[in-house]
Amino acid sequence: MTLQTPLRVHIAPQGYEEERIYKPAIESRADVVYLLVTEDDEQSNQCQEAVEQNLADAGIECKETVCDIFDMSESMQTISGLIQDHRDDNVKVNISTGSKITAVGGTFACMMYGATPYYVQAEDYGEETVSVGVKDSFELPAYPIEPPEPEFVSILDFLEEQRSEGNKVKIRDLNTFVMEKEFDAVQGVERKDNDNIYDIVQEEYREPLSKEGFIREQPYAGSKYITLTEKGEQTLDFSRHLVD
């Protein structure tokens, strides 16, 4: 049995750059480059054509992924998703092209999923593109951080969905959701065993989510309701790809 050699994968927001995208990919002998492109941007599209042509001339596969590079949530989800798709490959993310938002989102995605961010220093700045030439490129340290557990993200997504539909979520509603999704902690638990389910969901899900500040439990009229906090909303925005 032959082991498959990991691919050299580059991810680059397009923006108004050319050389700072294709030169480091060519120099590091990338196998495939993912361009994050914004729709209906004529100048960016012209730069993209030049990038794709230079990569094609070097025998490097180029794939287009539509992404709003000025939206933090979409940028981070897109980059994180691509890194996850290539979890067994060597992935590098170009944080010098695109926007400041993709630079931040790309760095966080690398920290969460083990890719390598790198910055490409320009020789000069021109009129048609943001920069001209490549002076140097160097990798940046990306200290690892742990992404939230997919089951936690599923709960945040459930709370957001219920809120958007105008529904209030009681503890028993969350218990039912966890059972229907057959989360790991309730495997083998009988649905009629309400007390046991309550304790498990509280210990394994509600308490950790509350401790992280992702959810808030509020008593009202003899019941306890669960709501999503602002921190929970932000975490969901950055992590929704884990459950999509």
pLDDT digits (tens, 9 = 90+) for 11-48: 999 988 899 999 999 999 999 999 999 888 888 888 99
The pLDDT, as a whole number, for residue 127 is: 55
Percentage of the chain surpassing pLDDT 70? 88
Instruction: Please name the amino acid found at residue 183.
Output: F
Q: What is the pLDDT of residue 126?
A: 53
Mean pLDDT score across all residues of the chain: 87
Token pair for residue 64?
């287009």
**Residue 236 phi, psi (nearest 5):** -65, -45
pLDDT, tens digit (0-9, with 9 covering 90-100), for 56-80: 999 999 999 999 999 888 898 899 9
Under the banding of pLDDT at 50, 70 and 90, the label for residue 138 is very low
Angle (CA) 235-141-208 rounded to 5° is 30
pLDDT at residue 183, rounded to an integer: 93
Q: CA angle at residue 132 from 127 to 137, to 5 degrees? A: 145
Please compute the mean of the pLDDT values over residues 140-153 and round it to a whole number.
72
- Beta strands per DSSP E along 6-71: 8-13, 32-37, 61-66
Going along the chain from its start, the domains and CATH numbers come out as 8-139 (3.40.50.10770), 150-242 (1.10.10.10)
